[in-house]
Every structure is written in C-alpha cells, then in structure tokens.
Structure 1
C-alpha cells in the first residue's frame, strides 16, 4: 500500500490535526477513550527507513501527544504500538489504558469490547485531543 497523505483532511470527521512531522487521527474503535493513530508525514515503512535526524523529534511528538491524551482522558497508563504488519506506512497506535478496561493487565489486543463512538462523542474526543496539538505546531 503506497502512502497517500491526501487522506488526512479536515473534511474527515476522524482527523484530529497535524504537527510539523505527523498527522493524528482518532481510531474508529474507542473502547479505550482517546485511542488515536499518529502517522509520520515522511513516507517510511518502518523506523529504520526514517531519516536519522527525524527519529528523535518524531518520538518526542509521540510522547507529547501521549502525555496530553493521558492527562485529558485521565488514563491510568499509556500503550504505544508500531507494528506495520497490515499497513506498510509507519504509524503508532497511541492507546490510553484504564484500570478495569476489558484487557487491563494484558495487551490491548484483541479488543474484547469494540465500540464505535456516537457522532457527538467523536466530535468531542477529537476536539479534546486537538487542544493539545496546538502546542506542537
């Protein structure tokens, strides 16, 4: 699958925003409220394909966005995953975890109770996360 950055658009209701180095979208499954996906703007299939000068700043963005989501959604822990087994473009799953969530104490997969948010909940979640992106621009 070739990376197509035009899929990241303010017209997409799941699009949260962009930073200098990446795009952020809300994951369709919100069984972990605030769960998002960060996609680097640079076309890369894995960490080893990134320009070495971009690795540090990109990881800083991942951590800053995770910190904001953890604080905003009162998560007990954050999980981060970059797998690339299905989509060949490097991306991170940023997954807030909550004591008592269906997989607490275990990996976030498989999701035991997938949940698509209502339109109002999706809009509210996107706006809450978007607030934290303003500081990264």
Structure 2
C-alpha cells in the first residue's frame, strides 16, 4: 500500500472494518446520528477516481453498489446518498449513507446543520433510529457475506 504520512485514512482504517481485500476496505462509520453510514476506502493513497485504471474504478464502484444494495435490503432507507468528496481527506473514499424522511438532517445533507424539529418529530426519529440500530448486525452480516462472494 502506498501511503501519505499525514493522511488519516493511510494511518488508520477510518472505522470498524467490515470487509477488506488487498485493494479496498469497507468500514462502519461511527456516527450516532446516521445509522448504517458506511465508507468504501481505496487502500492506496490515491486522491481521485481518474487516477485509477478502468478495472480499479469498476472494482471500487462495484463495492459501493453492493454496500448500497445491502443497505436497501436490510435497513430499508427511503434514499441512499453517495458522496466522494475528499476535500478534508485527499484519499479516495466513498460515503454510502442511508437516509430516511424523518432522520435528523433530512432533507439536508448530513454535513449541513440539522433543521429544527419539534419535540414530537425528534421523539419519532429516536424511536425509528432504535429500530434501525437493531438491524445493523444483520446489515453487517449481509454485507460481509455479499462482499465475500465477490
């Protein structure tokens, strides 16, 4: 693996590793507000998709699609947000973020300030989030199984 000494995704896994091979890792993002948030990280220190060969781009995107599919099958979000930013960490990684119409930031991006919610809406989200959290072990198991069949 090529790395950059000051890159946090070179120095650390970036979350709990759910699956990895020699080129990629899939990690659980520790974000209490956004259950199921998953990151797909290219192992080598590469900043842009255009730096990968076509087969490598196909490989990373195939894993992104598999994460999305497992999220949809198990967690049943209303929407999946995909983001490949790299503004703060110039190391190629994709955010795969399940979203629900009642989540804390909907319809805003998760990086935007959360819109104000009445207490009843916040209570409803907390109850919904508890049900989602209970599904996370099943999501992780399904995802690891799907990726192991690659």
Q: TM-score range by the shorter chain?
A: 0.7 to 0.9
The range that moved more, 20-29 or 94-103, is 20-29
Q: Is the 8 A contact 1:102 1:112 kept in 2?
A: yes
Q: What does residue 10 of structure 2 align with?
A: 4
**Using a 3 Å threshold, how does the CA distance of structure 1 residues 126 and 43 change in structure 2: closer, same or farther?**
farther
Give 3-state SS (helix, strand or coil) of 2:95's partner: strand
Structure 2 equivalent of residue 92 of structure 1: 94
Aligned Cα root-mean-square deviation (Å): 2.9
User: How high is the TM-score relative to the length of structure 2?
Assistant: 0.69
Structure 1 residue matching 2:136: 3-state secondary structure: helix
Q: Give 2:27's aligned residue.
A: 25
Whether the 8 Å CA contact 1:69–1:129 is kept in 2: the answer is: no
Name structure 1 gaps, 5 residues minimum.
114-120
Specify every segment of 5 or more residues in structure 2 that has no aligned partner in the other structure, as ranges: 1-5, 116-132
Higher relative contact order (CA 8 A, sep 6+): 1
The answer to whether the 8 Å contact 2:19/2:147 transfers is no
More moved, 102-111 vs 70-79: 102-111
Residue 51 of structure 1 and its aligned partner are, at CA, apart by 1.9
- In 1, Cα distance between the equivalents of 2:22 and 2:147? 7
Q: In structure 1, what is the Cα distance between the partners aligned to 2:69 and 2:38? A: 13
- Partner in structure 2 of residue 133 of structure 1: 144
- Asked if the contact 2:10–2:43 (Cα under 8 Å) also holds between the matched residues in 1, the reply is no
